[in-house]
Amino acid sequence: MRLHAIILGLCSASAIAFGAHAESITIATVNNGDMVRMQKLTDDFTASNPDIQLQWVTLEENVLRERVTTDIATRGGQYDVMTIGTYEVPIWAKQDWLLPLDNLGDDYDAGDIIPAIAGGLSLDGKLYAAPFYGESSFVMYRKDLMEKAGLTMPEAPTWEFIADAARKMTDRASDINGICLRGKAGWGENIAFLTAMANSFGARWFDENWQPQFDQPEWKNTLQFYIDLMNDAGPQGASSNGFNENLALFQQGKCGMWIDATVAASFVSNPTDSTVADKVGYALAPDNGLGKRGNWLWAWSLAIPAGTQKAEAARKFVAWATSKEYLELVASKEGWANVPPGTRTSLYENPEYQQAAPFARMTLDSINSADPTHPTVKPVPYVGVQFVAIPEFQGLGTTVGQLFSAALAGQSGVDDALAAAQTAAVREMTRAGYIK
């Protein structure tokens, strides 16, 4: 009895001592399937790092962005690891707000990160955020409707083909829209799609002197093409549709084609949620023969703020969550189809993954065809495919997004929307000091 008491006492004492020495790191993250899965698998990390405890803060994307921006700008020190996107990384790295991730361990294999993704997360050749999940955009289409329309989707279609196919596939009586595209206003919503699309039309946000370019014919061609296409073959109320709304339409069999994030492929091909799971084909985002495709590049990545007091523990966690071993861990627990995509070249060479994800090759080709450092046909002074990596872009992008969304809803004409976008952009860029 006494021995039991002594052992119990020793155990309690060591537990208290252990608790007192365990370091707790706070991770701010976004709510998506891959991140939620990571939270469930953290026992694997804490088992091999018993001296580190993990605290999670899961937030909606826009709230997360606002919160981590406030915290990092004021050096609040609330977070030790932040989930940020390709938009924030170059801006924050330039401000010295992030720690460089050049020493994530000998077995980390940073060379395995897909080059296009690594390029978007680096500044001056240094990686400032480790990708947890990467995506581009591509065409998802209904093979049965394409066949019914008497067409065959090429692997790399042109916008002309897409428009023709969309109009032929449209069957209003059967509630089938030839194409579903983003129309909801926002820099991460319709502007992400339209900026990538504009790149393939030869348009650009700014010239080399930061002069806005909405008064140029390339932008008019882009917006006119988009609105005509959506009026002829898009769903009703498209100006309110973002990723989730179009996902629901496609899953319910109401879209012939959908051009959006490559991650959507796993949703539309999942027979539990999608009524058209076995009828979906994939193709690269369209182009106009100008050398740029209308696809974007995005990665949710883990970064360590410069103000953290727990850099070493944070580094260990980032290395674990973005490692090849983590992908294998997910595969062993939940299958290869649930592995976070778009970060490592070796994943796409894995035959098991290729079998579980029929869209794998097209995803990799899409990611590789996006170049955030040279996103447009004409030269530009910025990086970013579907955004311009300057702090002012969030506000300006949303303003322009509202103007384009209003044009799609028929509340204004294409010329009026572009003129208003030009005025807003000139005003903002002058105020911010880009235009002298």
Judged by the rule CB under 8 A, the positions of this chain that interact with other proteins are 26, 28, 30-33, 36, 39-40, 55-61, 63, 66-67, 70-71, 73-79, 188, 243-244, 247-248, 251-252, 261, 263-264, 267, 273
Closer to other proteins at the Cβ: 75 or 172? 75
Closer to other proteins at the Cβ: 188 or 202? 188
Least Å distance, CB 386 to other proteins, is 14
Q: What's the one-letter identity of residue 18?
A: F
Instruction: Give long-range contacts, CB 8 A cutoff, 24+ apart: 249-255.
Output: 249/177, 249/180, 250/140, 250/180, 250/274, 250/276, 251/275, 251/276, 253/142, 253/176, 254/175, 254/176, 254/177, 254/180, 255/142, 255/176, 255/177, 255/178, 255/179, 255/180
Least Å distance, CB 340 to other proteins, is 12
Closer to other proteins at the Cβ: 56 or 161? 56
How far is the C-alpha of 197 from the C-alpha of 296, rounded, in Å?
9
Six-digit token pair at 15? 């537990």
Which string of DSSP letters, residue by residue, matches 106-125? TTS-GGGB-HHHHHHTEETT
Least Å distance, CB 32 to other proteins, is 5
Closer to other proteins at the Cβ: 19 or 379? 19
The residue length of the chain stands at 436
Least Å distance, CB 56 to other proteins, is 7
Q: Are the beta carbons of 226 and 182 closer than 8 angstroms?
A: no
Closer to other proteins at the Cβ: 222 or 262? 262
Helices (H), 60-113: 61-73, 88-94
Closer to other proteins at the Cβ: 71 or 207? 71
Which string of DSSP letters, residue by residue, matches 366-415? HHHH--TTS-SSS--S---SSS--STTHHHHHHHHHHHHHHHHTTSS-HH
Least Å distance, CB 264 to other proteins, is 8
Least Å distance, CB 277 to other proteins, is 12
Closer to other proteins at the Cβ: 231 or 244? 244
Least Å distance, CB 77 to other proteins, is 7
